[in-house]
A and B are shown apart, each in its own frame.
Chain A
Amino acid sequence: MDTVYVLLMAFISIVIVNNLVFTKFLGTCPYLGVSGRLDMAFGMGMAVTFVITLAGVMTWLIDHMILMPYGLEVTRYVCYILVIAGAVQLVEMYLRKFFPPLYESFGIFLPLITTNCAILGLCIFLYVWNVNNFLEAAVLSFGAGVGFTIAICIMAGIREQLRFADVPDCLSGPPITLITAGLLTLAFMGFAGMIK
């Protein structure tokens, strides 16, 4: 029962309280770039969730099974980025084979998931936060993806409405998106400190 409680708390914490986009600024580029339409944003969120779960689990395993026992921590970043690039390649091949229409609609954004800071950021945070439990690492990775999906979907919903708003010329486009994002983080700050 205790483990279940810990895992549940970890999940809620990474999805809402320590949301990577709102509190750590990770994944801001796709968050501002792809959030133009709700369906695209949701698809992006799903793809990122898959890659982040895979990458988080694999890098944790590599870190604890190979790098730490043999004292190879210097190569940590190189290994992480290799794993992430490999995972993205896997998703790309899978989508191209089984869901060609979805693959077409993603276009250039799919390979760019490699450079999504949320993914590498989470892998590094798993190490910085000293997560020693495999299950906890897996739950945190999955939760980070869910948190990213929530953030990007909220943003896309707002931006679809924003298109009808009368924004000053110089602020339209990225500036107003950034200001909206700022107000959103303010709202999410209400959750701060609820769980560690």
Chain B
Amino acid sequence: MADKTMTASEALIGGLWTEIPVLRLILGMCPMLAVTTAVKPALTMGLSVLFVLVCSNIMVSFMRKLLKPHLRILMFTLTIAAFVTIADLFLRAFTPQMSEILGPYVPLIIVNCIIIARAESCASKCGIWVSTVDAVSMGMGFTIVLFILAAIRELLAAGTICDIPVLWKGFVPWAAMRMPVGAFITLGLMLGLVNALTGKKS
């Protein structure tokens, strides 16, 4: 409880720029790489993560006084699992097609490191208001990065964005962009670009 100095505005800026997930923290890689073959599934995934993140942060913040050190991670994952089940059933009921595309990656939100990391480093120390703002900004940051990566990959793999063709007619699609290779290398170059822009040496 020592560093309880985080304020709402700090949390907002942290999630959207200084600690933007994936690009700065290198967390939450798996869904990042797997669902970004096209923009629509990526956005669905981003919004599901946002929902789970907000709910679990609020919940963890409520019970932060009751947490026992050695059972902490278990409490977090159980809370998250409950909300992920809700999100999964919701997707299956209202957008069955999207649920089919995302498949096992929706339940895998449970082990998305971002959510556990936020529960651990923010929600279990701060009040409800700060935790909520933090969750919203982190979720937005995650969704934005997911969207950019998916847009680049869909543009180069199929010449479309959201299934609307945008490139010229004779464009030859890069098949590799649809495969795991495209995901890893695009994300690597994106990280490099951010490092170059901010002048950070790791």
A residues at B contact (CB < 8 Å): 22-29, 32-33, 74-78, 80-82, 85, 111, 114-117, 119-121, 124-125, 128, 168-179, 181-183, 185-186, 189
Contacts and interface: CB of A to CB of B under 8 A. Distances in A.
B51 interface: no
Nearest to A122: B104
A125 B63 CA distance: 33
B188 A182 contact: yes
Contacts of A119: 111
Interface in B169-202: 176, 179-185, 187-189, 191-193, 195-196, 200-202
Nearest to B116: A115
Interface string B78-108: 1001101100110000000000000110011
Given A175-B195, A185-B181, 8 more contacts: A28-B29, A29-B27, A77-B81, A78-B81, A80-B81, A81-B110, A115-B113, A183-B181
A115 B33 contact: no
B191 A77 contact: no
B78 to A, nearest CB: 6
Contacts of A125: 104
Contacts of B192: 168, 170-171, 175-176
Contacts of A185: 179-181, 184
Given A77-B110, A78-B78, A111 B185 contact: no
B77 interface: yes
Question: Does more than half of chain B's interface fall in helix, strand or loop, or is it mixed?
Answer: helix
B26 interface: yes
16 contacts: A22-B180, A26-B30, A32-B29, A80-B81, A81-B77, A85-B74, A116-B111, A117-B30, A117-B108, A124-B108, A170-B200, A171-B192, A173-B202, A178-B187, A183-B185, A189-B179
B196 to A, nearest CB: 4
Contact of A74 (B26, B89, B183): B89
A83 to B, nearest CB: 11
Interface residues of B, number: 45
A157 to B, nearest CB: 18
Contacts of B103: 128
Nearest to B103: A128
B46 to A, nearest CB: 16
Contacts of A74: 85, 89
A179 B189 CA distance: 8
Interface in B30-50: 30, 33-34
Contact of B181 (A32, A175, A189): A189
A29 to B, nearest CB: 5
Contact of A182 (B28, B185, B196): B185
A33 B113 CA distance: 12
A172 B111 CA distance: 27
A85 B29 contact: no
Contacts of B55: none
Contacts of B191: 174-175, 178
Contacts of B112: 117
